[in-house]
């Protein structure tokens, strides 16, 4: 029984580490990879923003599909197979060989040269098969911790209300931020957005360095957050 538990634990641990390496080679951070791999294998169903990094990437989706299926069937299959072998006192050699093969795959994947080759292969496949629009926002815009993307809503007491961006944001072309578009109802404005006079209810999508954005639009962001909190509190009181 102890031998069975040990073998099962070793196989599961090896599979986890193998897929952590594979996810990391697609560009996912190691800590995120490990959490998502364990989540998928155990079918715990954690739904975090990090899961979008997997759903929006074709290679990661394929790896995730295998992991989910492995998690579903591995417990029953491995337990029944190993227990059957051990109960008969036969097949221990085959079990150890199988475990050794899994560990060998893990060891081979830790070779730097092979990792570089696989990373290049994954990136080449993504470049060929995936449109930029199919990738998650984090993959496209948020390349480092300093980058951020803010959907700023304009209210009546916002500094931007009734003014254009070029009036409020002095020398905007020298700042490390860019306004991607203005959304007004169902209409998206992309032309002359810095000269367009903003109205209450408008939304502007701003991309750039987090520090710069919060310095330039700090008051408007505070107004938006206060209004959202007030609306949420009102809805809670109603319900």
pLDDT tens, 148-194?
Answer: 888 899 998 888 999 999 888 888 778 888 898 999 988 999 889 99
Provide the H-helix boundaries in the chain: 2-25, 30-42, 51-55, 58-88, 92-109, 112-129, 137-140, 165-168, 210-216, 218-238
Higher pLDDT, 237 or 232: 232
Higher pLDDT, 168 or 10: 168
Q: What pLDDT score was predicted for residue 198?
A: 93
Q: What pLDDT score was predicted for residue 128?
A: 46
Is the full-model pTM beyond 0.85? Answer: no
- Reading phi first (left if > 0) and then psi (alpha if -120 to 50, else beta), residue 196 is in beta
Average pLDDT over residues 67-92: 66
Higher pLDDT, 5 or 51: 51
Inter-CA distances, 153 with 192, 198, 214, 220, 223, Å: 19, 10, 14, 8, 9
Q: What pLDDT score was predicted for residue 127?
A: 47
Among 1-10, 31-40, 188-197, top mean pLDDT goes to: 188-197
Confidence band for 94, pLDDT divided at 50, 70 and 90: low
Name the nearest CA neighbour of 138 among 48, 214, 220, 222: 48
Q: What pLDDT score was predicted for residue 84?
A: 64
For the cut 60, the answer to whether the pLDDT of residue 1 exceeds it is no
Give the contacts of 231 (CB within 8 A, at least 6 positions apart): none
Distance CA 56, CA 137 (A): 9
For the cut 70, the answer to whether the pLDDT of residue 23 exceeds it is yes
């Amino acid at each position: 029984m102890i031998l069975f538990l040990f073998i099962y634990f070793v196989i599961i641990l090896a599979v986890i580490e193998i897929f952590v390496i594979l996810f990391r080679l697609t560009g996912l951070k190691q800590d995120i990879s490990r959490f998502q791999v364990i989540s998928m294998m155990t079918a715990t169903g954690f739904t975090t923003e990090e899961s979008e990094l997997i759903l929006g990437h074709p290679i990661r989706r394929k790896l995730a599909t295998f992991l989910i299926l492995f998690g579903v069937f591995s417990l029953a299959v491995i337990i029944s197979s190993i227990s059957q072998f051990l109960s008969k006192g036969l097949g221990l050699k085959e079990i150890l060989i199988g475990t050794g093969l899994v560990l060998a795959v893990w060891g081979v994947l830790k070779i730097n040269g092979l990792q570089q080759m696989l990373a290049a292969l994954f990136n080449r496949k993504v470049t060929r098969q995936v449109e930029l629009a199919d990738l998650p926002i984090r993959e496209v815009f948020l390349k480092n911790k300093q980058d951020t993307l803010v959907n700023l809503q304009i209210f009546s007491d916002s500094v931007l209300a009734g003014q254009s961006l070029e009036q409020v944001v002095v020398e905007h072309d020298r700042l490390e931020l860019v306004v991607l578009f203005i959304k007004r109802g169902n209409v998206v404005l992309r032309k002359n957005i810095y000269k367009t006079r903003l109205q209450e209810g408008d939304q502007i999508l701003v991309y750039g360095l987090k520090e710069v954005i919060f310095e330039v639009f700090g008051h408007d962001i505070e107004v938006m957050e206060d209004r959202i909190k007030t609306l949420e509190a009102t809805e809670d009181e109603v319900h």
